[in-house]
Structure 1
Amino acid sequence: MTSAEPAAAIGGRQARWQPHNDERRERIITAAIELLDENAPGVEAPMQQIAERAGLAKSVVYRQFSGRDELDRQVRTAICVEFAATVDTALDIGAGSIREILARAVGAVVDWIAEHPRRDEFVRRGPGVGDPDNISAMVGLQAEIASRARRLVSGLAGVIGVADEPAIDTMTFAIVTMTESTVSRWTRDPEPALTRAKLVAAVAGYAWSVLDGVAREHGLTLDPERPLLTVLNELAANTPE
């Protein structure tokens, strides 16, 4: 028997068990998020309670995660992925005008934070997977959403030959952080001055003002009420090759 054979056998066993381990990890993370939603702000569910909710022994949880820190990072990352996917769906450039897309995205942020206050608070409390220890997972989430939001702007910039990536990056990140911070402040106010509808309209209006200002700096006048795909197609047709 060669020395490579035992390693290959071990690798085969690990590969066979990987789907089972992945399923257990997902159950544990889901259980942790469920308990997070149920508990009072700042209350941390003990590992035993998480294991019981997942239907597993506590020892199994510790076999799947090196400790509480790794589990918390994985939970924050899972929450961020869910939040980003929600906003990503709202940013569908194939449906609606620029104003409608912005309002839809802001509305998605408002609803998600309002419906998941414990998750929002937990994401701000510490890092996610791959984040430095001193960085909140929210910072990475903002960057991820800004990256996805660039599609809205890059599509407009690309068809007229504007390749000012630093400006686009700065603008989208500014819009995202402004939106997230404003919405978070509104959801934490026990007696907000604005209704949800007025908040969404106001923040979407601010986002449009920033986008319009940058577009005009590059010689592009946009109609926020027309379907975005129509605008893109017309700009592409009128742009010299």
Structure 2
Amino acid sequence: MPVPSSPASAPVGGGRQARWQPHNDQRRERIVAAVIELLEEGPAGAEVAMQSITERAGLSKSVVYRQFSGRDELDRRTRTTICEQFTDTLDTALDVTDGSIHRILHRSIGAVVDWIDRHPRLHEFLRRGPAVGDPDETNAMSSLQTSIAARTRRLVSGLAGVVGVVDEPVVDTMTFAIVSMTEATVTRWAHDPAPALDRDRLVAELANYAWSVLDGVARAHRLALDPDQPLLALLERLAVPDP
């Protein structure tokens, strides 16, 4: 008759793995941070050598390969981290509690312009392959656009719900159109060695284009938006039905 295993002894392996998990997470973060630093420092489009990564991270190749199954997984994880940094920056700019529609649009588009302008090599790296769990195997930038549009769509849908107007297909199309237009235009501007517009003029123009789309959709739903009124005050006004 087999002797039942002790409940206390069953999770020994799992417990050991759990104890090492924070240490392994820290190592992965060091490795990814090393890749990002080297991408920022190197020439545009250059491949970062594994030897350089291990030296920058202060780890041996064997340690790096224990943390990642190969270079593809490391590159995917790096793109995921870059995408998270990008969206964290944008989430702060999209704070609807601070400012009018115009201010929020200017701040958000300005954040996109500044990130792409300051991190051209990271932006280019996103276009060279997918991120972790990326349904678009072509490049991470396409999925990032979709992710940003989804975050913006949830925000706009929530605001529209306050005044009783939610047309999900229209909101989805509108937000993706604004996000993709902004990213494509900023990318073109950032790659132009002699752009016709300076940074502030570019932000102002793109914010005006975004406002035109938003205003047009609002008018189609019989909503009059004041782009210069604090957004929360505007929503409070719109949420009260006219007598």
TM-score surpassing 0.5?
yes
Are the structure 2 counterparts of residues 143 and 194 from structure 1 closer, same or farther at C-alpha, using a change threshold of 3 Å? same
The gaps in structure 2 that reach 5 residues or longer are: none
Deviation, 1:163, is 2.1
Deviation, 1:239, is 7.1
Contact 2:76/2:131 (CA < 8 Å) preserved in 1?
yes
For residues 242 and 29 of structure 2, what CA distance do their matches in structure 1 show? Answer: 49
The gaps in structure 1 that reach 5 residues or longer are: none
Which structure dedicates a bigger proportion of its chain to helix?
1
Deviation, 1:165, is 0.8
The corresponding residue for 1:36 is 39
Deviation, 1:159, is 1.9
The corresponding residue for 1:218 is 221
The within-5 A match list for 1:148-163 is 148-163=151-166
For residues 202 and 42 of structure 1, what CA distance do their matches in structure 2 show? Answer: 30
Contact 1:160/1:239 (CA < 8 Å) preserved in 2?
no
- Measured against aligned partners, the alpha-carbon deviations of 1:180-236 in whole angstroms (never above 9, x if no partner) come to 000010000000000111100000000000000000010101010111010011112
The corresponding residue for 1:112 is 115
For residues 173 and 198 of structure 1, what CA distance do their matches in structure 2 show? Answer: 23
1:125 is paired with a residue whose SS is coil
Contact 1:109/1:180 (CA < 8 Å) preserved in 2?
yes
Deviation, 1:152, is 4.3
Identity percentage over the alignment? Answer: 66
Q: Aligned pair 1:62/2:65, yes or no?
A: yes
Deviation, 1:151, is 4.5
Deviation, 1:156, is 3.4
Contact 1:95/1:227 (CA < 8 Å) preserved in 2?
yes
Out of 198, 201, 209, the position equivalent to 1:198 is: 201
Deviation, 1:6, is 6.2
Say how many residue pairs are matched.
240
Are the structure 2 counterparts of residues 3 and 140 from structure 1 closer, same or farther at C-alpha, using a change threshold of 3 Å? farther
Q: Aligned pair 1:79/2:82, yes or no?
A: yes
The corresponding residue for 1:14 is 17
State the superposition RMSD in angstroms: 1.7
Deviation, 1:4, is 7.2
2:123 is paired with a residue whose SS is helix
Contact 2:105/2:207 (CA < 8 Å) preserved in 1?
yes
TM-score under structure 1 length normalisation: 0.95
The corresponding residue for 1:227 is 230
The corresponding residue for 1:101 is 104
